[in-house]
Amino acid sequence: MHIVAAELPEWGAPERNKQPIVAQLSRLFNRPGLLLEVASGTGQHAAYFAEQLPHLRVQPTDLDPEHLQTLRLRAELFSEARGDASRLLPPLQLDASAPEWPIERADYVFCANMVHIAPLTAARGLFAGVGRCLAEGGLLVTYGPYCEDGRHTAESNATFDASLRARNEHWGVRDVSELEEFARAAGLALCEKVALPANNSLLVFVRT
């Protein structure tokens, strides 16, 4: 059966935030290379990055089998439409908390909305995995809501945090200082914080 893009699942959040995110990534990820996306979900970000940042090869990943199927179809559609299979690559199954990842080297890593909608072991594993595969001087960018010094940056984030913890006691909005600890242990350092709409931020970590 022939699949068209309109038949693939789409989430509202990636559609709303992809433009402000890519405006920053075009500045940060400014050299040719491989962009690894961790927890790609439906692949809306991955496809948009591949479209808007043609100097990059985008490698989507996810753990969920349904998401992986969607990612495969989205990559196929992207490649067919442009006659180029090198910009949006077939997805890889990746568990962020696993001690080994199915990729050895990346120039950039991006992860949106995972560290708070997953156990803390996934966040710790994200930084450990990036520490293993990210090229020296490469960047990891995470996106989402964060706490600062134990406090939420907006009332809406506090409400969101409470709803997450009600759904799963292991989920929750993370504090920047906690993520910095994971980063330091993996040879990464926080070098920039960028405020984005809807009380979300980009955290930029560099591989030292």
Give the CATH number of the domain where residue 42 resides. 3.40.50.150
pLDDT tens by residue, 177-206: 999 999 999 999 999 999 999 999 999 999
Residue 186 lies in a domain: yes
Residue 12 lies in a domain: no
Domains in the chain, number:
1
Q: Look up residue 93 and give its amino acid.
A: Q
Looking at the DSSP assignment, which residues form a beta bridge with residue 56? Answer: 33
pLDDT for the residue 1: 44
Residue 147 lies in a domain: no
Are the beta carbons of 22 and 58 closer than 8 angstroms?
A: no
- Provide the H-helix boundaries in 53-154: 65-82, 120-133
Residue 145 lies in a domain: no
Q: What is the mean pLDDT of residues 34-45?
A: 98
Residue 168 lies in a domain: yes
Domain span including residue 86:
19-140+153-199
Residue 11 lies in a domain: no
Mean pLDDT of the chain: 95
Residue 6 lies in a domain: no
User: What is the Cα 60 distance to its own chain's centre?
Assistant: 9
